[in-house]
């Protein structure tokens, strides 16, 4: 069974490792490696700015241990933007759609505004996950923009 909790400072190392995973960087809009000090500053800033950031860790329980599966983020820039990172250990197991759905469900408890996702055109797996979660393509230039239809 999947669970959701808010991201905490204690998650910094695992988020850093997931963010710098080769596949994650390849599929990210910004594919540059992230430095630790930059990551810590980013995380601390996001955790302080709770009105514009919803950061969720999706986990599953194994006996008395919490196993992190995914990080789902909703960030207000010019509009609400969604992103998801699946643990490299759990990719290809059909969890991404369920994790994103759980993140959306919890985000919707607080925010009802439209939500979008930027996805690289060649990131077919992510496109399928977002389409399955009621996102539609609304623009396609250098990067594809998808909007969730509620």
Query: What's the confidence (pLDDT) of residue 31?
Result: 86
**CB of 81 within 8 A of CB of 113?**
no
Query: What's the confidence (pLDDT) of residue 103?
Result: 97
Q: pLDDT above 70 covers what percent of the chain?
A: 98
DSSP 123: -
**CB of 130 within 8 A of CB of 94?**
no
CATH value at residue 49: 3.40.630.30
Q: What does the pLDDT look like over 125-147, one tens digit per residue?
A: 999 999 999 999 998 666 788 99
Q: What does the pLDDT look like over 13-40, one tens digit per residue?
A: 999 999 999 999 989 888 889 999 999 9
Q: How many domains does the chain have?
A: 1
Q: How far apart are CA 96 and CA 136, in angstroms?
A: 17
**What's this model's pTM, rounded to 2 decimal places?**
0.92
Structural domain including 70 reads 2-148
**CB of 103 within 8 A of CB of 4?**
yes
φ, ψ (nearest 5 deg) of residue 136: -125, 155
Across residues 52-76, what is the average pLDDT? 93
Confidence check: pLDDT of 110 > 70: yes
């Amino acid at each position: 069974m999947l669970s959701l909790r808010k991201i905490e400072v204690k998650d910094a190392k695992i988020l850093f490792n997931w963010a710098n995973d080769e596949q994650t960087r390849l599929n990210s809009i910004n594919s540059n490696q992230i430095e630790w000090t930059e990551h810590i500053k980013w995380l601390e800033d996001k955790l302080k700015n709770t009105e514009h950031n919803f950061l969720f860790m999706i986990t599953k329980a194994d006996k008395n241990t919490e196993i992190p599966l995914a990080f789902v983020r909703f960030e207000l820039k010019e509009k609400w933007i969604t992103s998801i990172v699946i643990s490299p250990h759990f990719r290809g197991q059909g969890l991404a759609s369920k994790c994103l759905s759980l993140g959306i469900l919890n985000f919707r408890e607080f925010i009802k505004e439209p939500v979008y996702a930027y996805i690289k055109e060649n990131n077919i797996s992510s496109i399928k996950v977002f389409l399955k979660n009621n996102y539609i393509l609304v623009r396609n230039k250098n990067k594809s923009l998808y909007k969730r239809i509620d």
